Amino acid sequence: MIQIRELVSTDIDDVYRLEKQIFQSDAWSKQNLTADSEASHTNYLVITEDEKVVGYAGLSSPPGSFQADINTIAIAESHRRQGLARQLVERMIQLATRHGAENLFLDVRADNPGAIKLYQGFEFEHIDTRKNYYQPAGVDALVMRKEIYQPLVMGIETSCDETGVGIVRGNRLISNALNSSMEIHARFGGVVPEVAARAHLEALKPTIDSALSEAGIEIADLNAISVTNGPGLSGALMVGIGAAKAIAVAQDKPIYAVNHLVGHVGADILERGSLQTPSIALLVSGGHTSLLLVRDLLDDVELLGETIDDAAGEAFDKVARVLGLPYPGGPEIDKVAINGNPYAIWFPRGLSLPKDMAEHKYDFSFSGLKTAVARYVEKAEEAGEEVQVSDVAASFREAVVDVLVTKAVKACAEYGVPRLILGGGVTANARLRELAKQKCDEAGIELRIPKFSLCTDNGAMIASLGAQLVMAGREPSSLGFGSESTMEVSKVQSL
């Protein structure tokens, strides 16, 4: 039976034997083959017949380069003219598309008309010739290129207080328009769902218009629409859902209903070119504090832990109020904490004691911390002591950031994951960035923090996740999905 599967290390000997037979003097060394097939930016496939390797192909697609190369493609003499090479080329094109390549390149011997014809059949064009490339025979190499059309996707985000409309093409960020109702919420000390929903409706058209004009495209140019349908505030989510569905029907485009939290992880793709997996993601905002293990962005996202009471951003807002600082609390506390001593007051680290770690290893709790700060301030006031706001702010901030980073780094270690992605509005916090950098450096973990406009809630990250679904050939959602305010992270797309 003929099968196509990913190359595993035990295939290398078989592949190397074929490589020598087929390419002879041009053959790669076993060492090169091994290194290339193990590299993080390559994909190697083998064709087997009854578990015997009869062909293989390798694709290289460095993240962020928007291009891919078919490094090699070979079929055993005994198995040619059975359409196997065609199948491998098809799979290489699928992989290149999924990785966001806009151009796919390959080299082919000028004296191999069969192969050239095969590639032409897949719309590879001959763009250059390398004279006498294959030695010692002195045969020319033809450089061929296939343009890959990556999907143009609009993403609509209305899960909280930001109306976001973003446009991406594959892995490329095209535009990211945002209207925030944060200032209206300031006098209430927190996001008021009804106020947020009203603001979304008013911001909808201007935000769509600016995303389109910034991108220089028309809605008709889009290949798909994606929209956040959870988790978030129901009434707010529904504004985006209503709009997205109407656009889908008005322009007869497929629609993808996607998970807001997974969208935050998808934001990293717009900067790095593709998501490296596995990754641990720490998402911290006014509405969420979640630690995710992402083995595959579209198929395998696991919630390791989340806050059991207040979100981290919410704790900043509440403590800011206790300290008489304005809303939103995060930047304000950051500002006064600069001059404070983070060790002046010991505030509790929520769910960090051994007894809590058994059940809540990766969960967070900030409600007790907020109360501890309030208690400290009230006691001091009653005693007629002057409260050192900067020390309280710095000590509180340290307690929050300490728990966040400690648990995230612990998760990386426990699951053997060498990278951590931060997302959410609280990533603007200077101390969080600093401590995460320090602890990740110490532990040999790569830290990814997308630029701030991609960290806070935004439409581009939703467009990015939608684009990944399109690129992977996933079916669109039906028109009947609703909002799911408590959607679990394992549900990446609602069908």
Partner 1 sequence: MILAIDTTAGTTAAVIENQQVLGFSEFDDRFGHAENIGSAIQQALQRAQVTAAGITSVAISRGPASYTGLRVGMAAGVAFATARSISLHAVVALDAVATAYPSENSWLVISDAKRGEFFACSYSGVDDSGLAIRSSELEVLKPEQLEQYSNLTKVDLNCDAKLVGLYAEKAIAAGVELHDATALYLRSPDVTPSTKKRVTG
Q: Which residues bind partner 1 (CB under 8 A)?
A: 187-190, 192, 194-195, 197-198, 200-202, 204-205, 208-209, 219, 234-235, 237-252, 255, 321-322, 371, 374-375, 378-379, 382, 479-483
Q: Rank residues 51 and 386 by Cβ distance to partner 1 and give the closer one.
A: 386
Question: What's the closest the beta carbon of residue 285 comes to partner 1, in angstroms?
Answer: 19
Question: What's the closest the beta carbon of residue 205 comes to partner 1, in angstroms?
Answer: 5
Cβ count near 194 (within 10 Å):
10
Structure tokens at 116: 């050239």
Q: Rank residues 69 and 161 by Cβ distance to partner 1 and give the closer one.
A: 161
Structure tokens at 159: 């899960």
Spatial distance between the Cα atoms of 27 and 105, rounded to a whole number of angstroms? 19
Q: Rank residues 229 and 276 by Cβ distance to partner 1 and give the closer one.
A: 229
Spatial distance between the Cα atoms of 458 and 466, rounded to a whole number of angstroms? 13
Q: Rank residues 108 and 247 by Cβ distance to partner 1 and give the closer one.
A: 247
Question: What's the closest the beta carbon of residue 261 comes to partner 1, in angstroms?
Answer: 19
Three-state DSSP class for residue 421: strand
Question: What's the closest the beta carbon of residue 452 comes to partner 1, in angstroms?
Answer: 26
Q: Rank residues 201 and 443 by Cβ distance to partner 1 and give the closer one.
A: 201
Question: What's the closest the beta carbon of residue 376 comes to partner 1, in angstroms?
Answer: 10
Q: Rank residues 247 and 463 by Cβ distance to partner 1 and give the closer one.
A: 247
Structure tokens at 365: 């709790």
The residues that bridge with 44 in the sheet, in sequence order, are: 58
Q: Rank residues 8 and 250 by Cβ distance to partner 1 and give the closer one.
A: 250
Q: Rank residues 150 and 181 by Cβ distance to partner 1 and give the closer one.
A: 181
Q: Where are the beta strands (DSSP E) in 231-379?
A: 255-259, 279-284, 289-296, 300-306
Looking up tokens 């190499």, which residue turns up?
Answer: 141
Spatial distance between the Cα atoms of 436 and 429, rounded to a whole number of angstroms? 11
Question: What's the closest the beta carbon of residue 460 comes to partner 1, in angstroms?
Answer: 18
Question: Is the bond leading into 254 cis (omega within 30 degrees of zero)?
Answer: no
Question: What's the closest the beta carbon of residue 372 comes to partner 1, in angstroms?
Answer: 9
Q: How far is CA 333 from the centre of its chain?
A: 29
Question: Is the bond leading into 328 cis (omega within 30 degrees of zero)?
Answer: yes
Q: Rank residues 245 and 360 by Cβ distance to partner 1 and give the closer one.
A: 245
Q: Are strands 300-306 and 289-296 parallel, antiparallel or unpaired?
A: antiparallel
Question: What's the closest the beta carbon of residue 449 comes to partner 1, in angstroms?
Answer: 31
Question: What's the closest the beta carbon of residue 235 comes to partner 1, in angstroms?
Answer: 5
Closest-CA residue to 33 (of 51, 53, 50): 53
Are 191 and 159 a contacting pair, CB within 8 Å?
A: no
- Concatenated DSSP letters for 298-328? TTEEEEEEEBSSS-HHHHHHHHHHHTTPPSS
Spatial distance between the Cα atoms of 226 and 155, rounded to a whole number of angstroms? 5
